[in-house]
Amino acid sequence: MAQVVVITSGKGGVGKTTSSAAIATGLAQRGKKTVVIDFDVGLRNLDLIMGVERRVVFDIVNVIQGEAKLNQALIRDKRVENLAILPASQTRDKDALTKEGVQIIIEELSKEYDYVICDSPAGIEKGALLALYFADQAIVVTNPEVSSVRDSDRILGVLQSKSKRAEEKREPVKEHLLVTRYDPARVERGEMLKLEDIQEILAIPLLGVVPESESVLRASNTGTPVILDAESPAGLAYGDAVARFLGEERPHRFLEVEKKGLFKRLFGGRAA
Amino acid sequence: MSAEPQPRAEPFRLRGANFNLLVLRLLDARIDAVVPALGDQFKRAPGFLRFAPVVIGLGDLAVPPAEMDFVALVRELKALEIVAIGTTGGTPELRQAAIAAGLPPLRQSGGDEAAPSSAPAAPATAPVNPPPAPLAPSGLRPTMIVDQPVRAGQRVWAQGADMIVTSTVNAGAEVIADGNIHVYGALRGRAIAGGADNLGARIFAQNFDPELVSIAGFYAVREGLGKAPIGRATQVRLAGESLRFDPFGA
């Protein structure tokens, strides 16, 4: 049986899709058979970030409505083995998703894959609720910003009351905190929330901290999950997070301001 | 040094005490009609009434005892985390059937549904007051204890009781109690104590940083808390018609 993992946040624009792409790719790199589903029907993005947008034929709505077989809609990644993407529909709205339809898809995928990653849309409406409903684990993506933390708090409450596990009174969904766009310099200047403050409010185990990095934007524009960029701090941080997710112990890094060497200071080099 | 355990003069004491209890007045003898409806109601207020003792009101039932399965009722209520502790009112036959199922008849003090004097008084159960319509500041039900953080968008209500939150109340969350509210973590959301008329209720927070506090309808929003000891261990009480904020502890 696969583990169903929802990547969620409540708030939009915090890095759910970037994180979904990176974590799914990271799990596949480590030999886990992984499929990542885009639940953002109407605003599909995952295929862009994964660089497969030109290969989309069918999508999740086609599968739910019986217009295509699941295997026809799955896109296999060309860079990493063991990785597949189930894209969202661009032309339908979220009402096209049904609980029964999603359940059939997840059950089917569970037979073949080790991890089913659900990339949730923002908000707490139908699409987001369906993305988290079947989850065994949740990765809550949060920016060091008050409104993002508040929305993550809200989504944690929803996980505890509206997920299938909660409804069936089974063991609760396992929660992980992933802080993204963390900028130690701005934290030091008091412009961003400190990691400890976020942890204190949300009170769930920390999976990782991904530093603000130019490489993330570059990666999404070129359709390469940032975890494949072994040079970038963000890619390394996602690598650490995946390792921790699989039970490895890794120290947290990128939490302090990087001391610029004399050379960098003279020539104004910027961290990539 | 070995000290002989001091034998106590008496092994127990028997005292009368008054309790406020909820009465579940059955209007329908069919358990498969009552329990799902009850379950629906509690689904809307999860945590509310968890393991609360209730008395089954039989006064509105006009059925022969054979049609009322008390054993099944107790079992189904327990599944909803509601504990039936006795009955009130009803025909003597119904009461006898309830006794057989382990539900003793309770006497309502001053109520009109008094059990007949011949009914055996249950020694372990205290007399029952009428159900609390407006809650008297005395007679509170058992304290509700919340061990999870109360998160944005969540609302927890301790009806007719005190509330203790061992974790935090986050911004955007709301805790409501008809009695006092204690928050052993940070209080960052709203805390509403004292119901409608319990002027003596207080709010205690280890780290006081609320969006709004209210006691018995007198409230203050954060903007009005300029002089309150924000971030410290604080208790809030009503002094006349205004809220008073005092640091407590060291």
Give the number of other Cβ atoms within 10 Å of residue A251's Cβ.
6
Sign of the four-CA dihedral B127, B129, B131, B134: negative
Burial letters B198-207, b for 16+ CB under 10 A, else e? beebbbbbbb
**Quick one: pLDDT band at residue B133, thresholds 50, 70, 90?**
very low
- The DSSP-derived string for B35-101 is HHHHHHHHHHSTTTTTTEEEEEE-TT--S-GGG--HHHHHHHHHHTTEEEEEEESS-HHHHHHHHHT
Separation in Å, CA A111 to CA A21, A58, A120, A135, A240: 21, 21, 22, 16, 28
pLDDT of residue B235: 96
Three-point CA angle B193, B195, B201, nearest 5°: 45
For chain B, how long is the longest CA-to-CA vector? 67
Side chain identity at residue B58, one-letter code: L
pLDDT of residue B109: 62
Closest CA to A82 of A56, A114, A122: A114
**Quick one: pLDDT band at residue B104, thresholds 50, 70, 90?**
confident
For chain A, how long is the longest CA-to-CA vector? 62
Residue B25 has pLDDT above 90, yes or no: no
Nearest CB to B153; choose among A157, A201, A203 = A157
Q: How far is A66 from chain B (nearest CA, A)?
A: 34
Nearest CB to A157; choose among B154, B168, B188 = B154
Tell me the average pLDDT across B67-75.
86
**CA–CA gap between residue A90 and residue A74 (Å, rounded):** 16
In the numeric block, which tokens belong to residue A78? 């060309």
pLDDT of residue B138: 53
**What count of Cα atoms within 13 Å lies in the side-chain half-sphere of residue A240?**
20
Tell me the average pLDDT across B36-44.
73
Task: Write the pLDDT tens digit of every residue in B183-235.
Answer: 999 999 999 999 888 999 999 999 999 999 999 999 999 888 888 899 999 99
pLDDT of residue A8: 97
The DSSP bridge pattern shows strands A174-182 and A137-142 to be parallel
Helices (H), A135-261: 146-162, 164-167, 184-188, 195-202, 214-222, 233-245
**CA–CA gap between residue A203 and residue B187 (Å, rounded):** 14
- Tell me the pLDDT of chain B averaged across its residues: 79
- The DSSP-derived string for A233-271 is HHHHHHHHHHHHHTT------S-SPPPPPHHHHHHT---
Q: Which residue of A lies nearest to B149 if distances are taken between CA atoms?
A: A203
Nearest CB to B152; choose among A150, A160, A161 = A150
**Quick one: pLDDT band at residue B36, thresholds 50, 70, 90?**
confident
- Spell out the per-residue pLDDT of chain A, length 272, in tens: 899 999 999 999 999 999 999 999 999 999 999 999 999 998 889 999 999 988 998 999 999 999 999 999 999 999 999 999 999 988 887 788 999 999 999 999 999 999 999 999 999 999 999 999 999 999 999 999 999 999 999 999 999 999 999 999 999 999 999 999 999 999 999 999 999 999 999 999 999 999 999 999 999 999 999 999 989 999 999 999 999 999 999 999 999 987 666 665 556 545 44
Task: Write the pLDDT tens digit of every residue in B115-131.
Answer: 333 333 333 333 333 34
| Contact: B167, A203; criterion CB under 8 Å | yes
**CA–CA gap between residue A203 and residue A177 (Å, rounded):** 9
Give the number of other Cβ atoms within 10 Å of residue B219's Cβ.
14
Which residues of B lie inside 8 Å of A (Cβ-Cβ)?
Answer: 46, 148-149, 151-154, 167-168, 170-173, 186, 188
pLDDT of residue A268: 53
Chain B residues in contact with A204 by the CB 8 A cut-off are none
Instruction: Given the cut 0.85, state whether the ipTM is greater than it.
Output: no
Phi-psi region of B212 (alpha: psi -120 to 50; beta: other; left: phi over 0): beta
B221: enclosing H helix or E strand: strand B218-221
Interchain CB contact of A153 with B (< 8 Å): yes
pLDDT of residue B43: 64
Q: Which residue of A lies nearest to B173 if distances are taken between CA atoms?
A: A154
Q: Look at residue A145 and give its three-state secondary structure.
A: coil
Cβ–Cβ pairs < 8 A, chains A and B: 37
**Quick one: pLDDT band at residue B70, thresholds 50, 70, 90?**
confident
**What count of Cα atoms within 13 Å lies in the side-chain half-sphere of residue A75?**
24
Pairwise pLDDT comparison (A74 vs B97), residue with the higher score: A74
Lowest mean pLDDT among A118-132, B136-150, B161-175: B136-150
Q: Look at residue B176 and give its three-state secondary structure.
A: strand
Residue with tokens 């007399």, as numbered in its chain: B127
**CA–CA gap between residue B224 and residue B246 (Å, rounded):** 15
pLDDT of residue A264: 58
β-bridge mates for residue B140, sequence order: none
Contact criterion met (CB below 8 Å) for B58 and B90: yes
Contact criterion met (CB below 8 Å) for B109 and B129: yes
Separation in Å, CA A152 to CA A12, A183, A262, B168, B170: 11, 19, 40, 15, 11
Sketch out chain B's domains with CATH numbers.
Answer: 22-100 (3.30.70.260), 144-247 (2.160.20.70)
Q: How far is A115 from chain B (nearest CA, A)?
A: 28
In chain B, what are the helix, strand and coil shares in percent, each to the nearest 5? Answer: 15, 30, 55
Mutual angle of helices B31-44 and B70-79, in 10-degree steps: 20
A14 assigned to a ligand binding site: yes
Pairwise pLDDT comparison (B63 vs A55), residue with the higher score: A55
pLDDT of residue B7: 53
Tell me the average pLDDT across B86-110.
82
- What pTM was computed for the model? 0.67
pLDDT of residue B88: 87
A103: enclosing H helix or E strand: helix A99-112
pLDDT of residue B50: 59
